[in-house]
Every structure is written in C-alpha cells, then in structure tokens.
Amino acid sequence: MRQPLVFPPLLFVLIGLFGCFIYSTQWSKWVLRFDLVPQQAYLNDIAGGDFRLFWAQGELAGLGRPQDAYNATAIMNAAMVENLSGIIDVRPSFYPPHFILMMEPFGHLSYPKAWHLYNWSSVLLLAFVTVYAFTGSYYALPLLLGFGGLWCALSFGQNSIFLTTLYLALAAWGARHERIGGVLLAIASFKPHLGILAPLMLLWRTQYTTVVWAMLSLAVLVGITATRYDPEIWLRYYEVLRDPVDRLIGFNNVQSKHMISLYATLRSYGLEPIYALAAQGVLALVAVQMLWRICRRALDPMLPTAALVTATLLAVPHAYSYDLMLLFIPIMVLVKRAQSFGWKWADFEAVVPAYVLPFAVAPLNQYGLPVAPVVLLLLLYRLKQHSRKDHA
C-alpha cells in the first residue's frame, strides 16, 4: 500500500521565510520599522493608508467630538491628508461606533507612535494566537510571515490582521469555550459585513451559548459607546451607512482593482447592478450551501470557522484584497490536515493559489478575470471534502 505523501515541516518553514524575504525587501520602508518616523515625513507619503482615517476617528473621539468621526471633512482635517488629495480617499466610515471606541486609545498618541504601535501589536498578537492555535506545527509562524495577505493588510493600514486574530481564536477555542467565542464574535462585529454568516454557522453547529454570549457582549459594547459618546452617535452611524451601499451600487469611488468579488468583476465589465448582484447572489447561495454541509459533517472544530471566513469572502460583494488576510485560517487548517492525512493533488490546487492570491489580485483584475472567486470556491470545496474525512 502506498504511503501517504507528507512533506518535511522544514519545507514549509523555508517557503514562509522565502515569502517573508520577498515581501519585506520589496515593500514600503514604513512597514514594521523598529524606529519611529517623524510626523513631517507622513505629510507627502501614503504610508499608513486606511489607518490614517482610523487614527483620525480615534483622535476626534478623544477630543470629545465622536460624532465628527462620521464626517468626511472633519476626518480629512485630522488625518494629515491635505497634500494627498485624490490618493487617499476620505469618506465617512461604515464601521460601527464601538470600532471608534477601539481606536480612541490610538487617537491619544501622535500619529507616528500610533502607527508604530498599531502595526506591531496587530502582528505580534496574531503571531501569539497562531503559535497556540497550531501547537505542534512549528511551521505555522513562518507560513504566516510569508503569507501575502499579511503584507497586503499592512500596506493598506487595514484592520484585517486583528480581525483574523479574533476568528483564529474562535476557530481554535470557540467550540470548547462558547462564552469566549461569543465575546470574540462581538468584538469582531466592528467589521459587520464579514461576520454576516456567523449566526448561521453557530446555529448549524448548535452553539447556542455562543449566540447568547455574542448578543450579550454586543449589547455591552453598544451600551458603552452610547454612554461614552452619547446615543446620537448610533443615529449618526445609521445616517452614513447608506453611503458605502450607494458607492458599491454606483461603482464609483471604489478601488475596483483591489476588489475580489464576482460582483466587482461583472460591474467592471459594465454589467448593470441588478444582474451583477443576481450573479453574486447565486454564488452566495452556493457558498452557504457548502458551509452548511461542512458545519453538519465536521468533527474538527476548526473546519467550520475556516469554512465560515472562506464562504463569507465568496458571498459578500464588498471585499478587498486586504480582507484575504482571513484566508490564513483555512490555509493553515488544510496544511495541518494534509500533513496528517497525506497530501492530495486537490490540496495543492486549493492551498497554493490561495497562499499567493492576495498580492496577485490587482494585476489579475486588470485582465477582468474573476480569479479570486474561483480560488475561494476551490478552497471552500476542499474544506468540504475534508469534512467528509472526519467520518472515514
């Protein structure tokens, strides 16, 4: 009988270190520096990206003007982007008020210190959770450092790294500690559209305690923000919530070359919004059906969460290349399982494209090819096949 194909763990270490070397040598000098950069240096440089807007919102909240965190003019004045008009887009945030609560501590710091702390704390926290979530798989950390999604999220100054930390902790410990899982999901709700399928996963997994604790924890967050910033901030948030929807439907003021959804690809071809949304809806139904299958079959507690983030990225029309940071979870779950069961060709087809996808999105989108949805679909299908192995 043929022996299962298992690779030496050192191979994954070398792959991760090689990827880390490539990205770190070619990427911006602002990313993961050990020293602080003078604030003057940021005035004419795009370093920080979206974090500039997050920091500005936190600063406005710290100055006692939390409702201005949903005012584009106020954000622009605080974010040091006067010299970057047309390069960094300033618009009202669609993040809920408890995200501003999280950003307020950074707003009390000068921008260079905040940017430095934000980068290092996000990466180190994710590295810490990765080591403990994949105990015994020492190649997990090198694969994280060489994953393009990490560097993509850093380059955009996005919060996808922290979001991945929350979902990875949910995958590793949420099934055994449902109360903790509920708290993690409540915190992860700062990016609500990427958690839209989480209630379905919990119900299909009969994790009712997690649902209850998520609702209670979210109620606490809402109460804290209403007490600290005044309940009207939630009304202000509701008023600007329509803006990202209008931008997406009109397909203007969006970074289409970095979008990963089928909807974005079809809109870039000039297809009417109704037809593009219909196609996206069909794909979403396929993703939800596969998620349901995985949730019902899987015995490995990490499989459902890995499937959740993959299915969500397939289903939502508003997703960008930096959101692919979440793919580190299904990639590592598949690598670990393939090392246990033996590698199949289907594992390569799912893992390798997903690992290199984040930094390939922009050039691939120039050709108008819906590569990202195809890669995500292959990844989700492979997770579904692995859920069957739990019963073999």
pLDDT 10s digits, 162-214 = 999 999 999 999 989 999 999 999 999 999 999 999 999 999 999 999 999 99
Instruction: Give the span between the Cα atoms of 67 and 69, in whole angstroms.
Output: 5
pLDDT value of position 375: 95
pLDDT value of position 374: 93
pLDDT value of position 271: 87
In the three-class reduction of DSSP (H, G, I as helix; E, B as strand; rest coil), residue 34 is classed as: coil
pLDDT value of position 346: 93
Q: Report the number of secondary-structure helices (H) and strands (E) in the chain.
A: 20, 0
pLDDT value of position 35: 74
One-letter amino acid of 284 = A
What separation in angstroms does the CA of 183 have from each of 228, 269, 292? 20, 41, 23
Within 8 A by CB and 6+ apart from 318, the residues are 193, 244, 248, 259, 261
Contact 318, 381 (CB under 8 A): no
Residue 25 CB: number of other CB atoms within 10 A? 7
Instruction: Give the span between the Cα atoms of 390 and 392, in whole angstroms.
Output: 6
- For residue 87, the 8-state DSSP code is T
Instruction: Give the span between the Cα atoms of 156 and 54, in whole angstroms.
Output: 12
Within 8 A by CB and 6+ apart from 141, the residues are 16, 127, 130, 131
Residue 375 CB: number of other CB atoms within 10 A? 27
For 320, phi and psi rounded to 5 degrees?
-125, 170
Give the residue among 193, 170, 130, 183 at the shortest CA–CA distance from 332: 130
Residues of the chain with pLDDT under 70: 1-2, 27-31, 40-46, 81-92, 253, 391-392
One-letter amino acid of 200 = L
Alpha helices in 79-159 (DSSP H): 97-107, 111-133, 140-145, 148-156
Q: At what angle do helices 232-240 and 242-250 cross, to 10 degrees?
A: 10
